[in-house]
Each structure stands twice: as C-alpha cells, then as structure tokens.
C-alpha cells in the first residue's frame, strides 16, 4: 500500500468541504441527522480512487451500504456534519484501514485548520508531520473531557447528562465539539484527556482509536470490552487516569 498516496487522497477529497453548492445541498436521514452533498461527494470520490490504488481492499462508509469485506477501508466522509451545515469549522475526513483483525493505519484531516493526523500501528502518530509523544496522563482534576450527547439519540439524555455531571464535578471541564474522530485524536495529542458517548459507529472512531492507542490511551465500550469494527457501539476512552474516572461514572449510571 502506498500510504502517502492515501494521505494525499484524503486531503484532496477534503476540498469538497469548501464547495458552497454541495455544502448547502442538505437532506435529513432522520431527526437531527443531516447528510450533505459534501458527505456523498467525498464518499464517492474516495471509494473510486481507493479502488484504483488498492483494488483488493473493501470499502465501508457512513454513506455506503453493502457486504463487509474482511479487509476494508472504514470512512467517515464528514465527521461532524452538523458542524459543517452550521459552518462551525470542526469537521474532519476520517479514514482507517482494517486488516481483518484490527486497524493498522489511519488518517484524520480537518480541512478548516489543516490539522493532519496520520497513525500507523507500532510506529506512532504524526500530527502535521511531528511524531506525537505519549499523551500526558493528567490527574482527574486537571482533565478536559469531551462527551457526545448524541443529537439523534435523545432517549439517552438523562443517562448522558448524569454521567457528564459526575465528570464535570471531578474533572477540570467538559467540551462538546461534536466530532468524534477529532475528539479522540485530540486525546491522543494531549489537547483533551477523555471522551465518552452512548452510541456511535465504527467510522466515527476507527482511525482515531488507533491513534489513541499508539499514544498510550485506552478505549473500550461501556462494558469495558474492545470496540467492534462492524457494528455500532458505546464508546469511552482516555488516558489511564481519565479512563478510570469515566468508567466509574458510567458504571454508576448506565443501565
């Protein structure tokens, strides 16, 4: 696999974010669940171009349905679609390579800030070309925590915010960026220290979880089991101290 060619494709695909005609072509997949022509354009572009350079690797995307190949690309064409629609400028293209057992390579790119994360199993994570050190394992009182409340999953509101209240009282502060891939990558980079959400999908976390693990972080579902790469899951991650605080709160409130 030509990894640099894949990185270049992700960056090239992100240009569609700035196409106003595509950006304003918005449909609803469900209540509070946007899909734009940008999502569809990026998904179609990367499926075609990745198929040309890696024809033996399958393709799984938020906007793509079909039978899953054992080895596959896992794509979120726009992680943070609501942010895109509202011009909040915290959105990313997230692409991971799943080798049939685990994710071994991933790219996350925020075209607004030009932040580029590239992770490779056993070789660490590069952030805009710089090799990231191990993420700082801060004491809970010094931790910034991101959480996903799930605008399409409001049936979990009481549970989400009960956990968030616990965490807010024990940690420094909470954040709501609404881009799972960026949030987890920011934990890897030490900009945040933990993240949790009741229900997300593999394309939201596939690339970022690799990066988190390469930087010494821990991720699991809310039962403490490894997250799956073929179906939706609960998700919690952090550096070790933050992860323990999050899991303690989840165990108190999750039913």
144 and 203 co-located in one domain: yes
Q: Of 19-23, 98-102, 159-163, 207-211, which gets the smallest average pLDDT?
A: 19-23
What CATH number does residue 182 fall under? 3.40.190.80
36 and 93 co-located in one domain: yes
3-state helix, strand, coil in the chain (%, to 5): 40, 30, 35
Last residue of a domain, one of 113, 131, 149: 131
- List the domain range (segments joined by +) for residue 120: 3-131
Pairwise CA distance, residues 192 & 126, whole Å? 17
170 and 192 co-located in one domain: yes
- For the stretch 204-235, pLDDT in tens is 999 999 999 999 999 999 999 999 999 999 99
123 and 154 co-located in one domain: no
25-30 long-range contacts, Cβ below 8 Å, gap at least 24? Answer: 26/85, 30/152
User: 23 pLDDT exceeds 80?
Assistant: no
CA 209 to mean position of chain CA atoms: 8
What is the pTM for the complete model shown?
0.93
- For the stretch 61-103, pLDDT in tens is 987 766 788 999 999 999 998 898 898 999 999 999 999 999 9
Name the residue with tokens 């952090």.
Answer: 238
Query: Sorting pLDDT into bands at 50, 70 and 90, what band is 29?
Result: low
What CATH number does residue 109 fall under? 3.30.540.10
Token digits of residue 145: 């925590």
Query: Sorting pLDDT into bands at 50, 70 and 90, what band is 154?
Result: confident
Contact 54, 3 (CB under 8 A): no
Would you state the pLDDT for residue 78?
A: 93
User: 111 pLDDT exceeds 50?
Assistant: yes
145 and 237 co-located in one domain: yes
User: 148 pLDDT exceeds 90?
Assistant: no
Token digits of residue 24: 């304003």
Contact 104, 97 (CB under 8 A): yes
Provide CB contacts within 8 A for 158, sequence distance 6+.
none
Would you state the pLDDT for residue 32?
A: 47
190 and 117 co-located in one domain: no
127 and 170 co-located in one domain: no
Name the residue with tokens 């690799």.
Answer: 210
Q: Which of 208, 230, 217 is nearest to 94 (CA)?
A: 208
In DSSP terms, 97 is beta-bridged to: 73, 105
For the chain, what is the domain count?
2
Last residue of a domain, one of 131, 159, 194: 131
The two beta strands, 194-200 and 233-238, are antiparallel
């Amino acid at each position: 696999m030509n990894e640099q060619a894949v990185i270049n494709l992700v960056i090239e695909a992100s240009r569609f974010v700035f196409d106003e005609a595509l950006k304003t072509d918005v449909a609803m997949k469900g209540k509070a669940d946007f899909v734009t022509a940008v999502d569809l354009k990026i998904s179609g572009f990367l499926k075609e171009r990745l198929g040309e350079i890696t024809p033996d690797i399958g393709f799984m995307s938020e906007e793509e349905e079909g039978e899953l190949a054992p080895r596959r690309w896992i794509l979120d064409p726009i992680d943070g679609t609501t942010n895109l629609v509202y011009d909040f400028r915290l959105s990313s293209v997230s692409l991971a390579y799943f080798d049939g057992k685990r994710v071994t390579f991933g790219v996350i790119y925020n075209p607004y800030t030009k932040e580029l994360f590239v992770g490779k199993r056993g070789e660490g994570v590069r952030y805009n070309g710089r090799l990231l050190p191990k993420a700082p394992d801060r004491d809970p009182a010094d931790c910034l925590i991101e959480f996903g409340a799930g605008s399409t999953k409001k049936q979990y509101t009481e549970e989400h915010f009960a956990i968030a209240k616990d965490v807010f009282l024990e940690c420094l502060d909470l954040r709501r960026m609404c881009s799972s891939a960026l949030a987890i990558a920011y934990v890897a980079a030490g900009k945040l220290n933990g993240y949790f959400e009741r229900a997300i999908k593999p394309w939201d976390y596939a690339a970022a979880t690799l990066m988190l693990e390469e930087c010494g972080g821990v991720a699991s579902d809310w039962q403490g089991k490894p997250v799956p790469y073929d179906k939706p899951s609960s998700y919690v991650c952090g550096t070790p101290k933050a992860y323990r605080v999050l899991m303690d709160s989840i165990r108190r409130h999750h039913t």
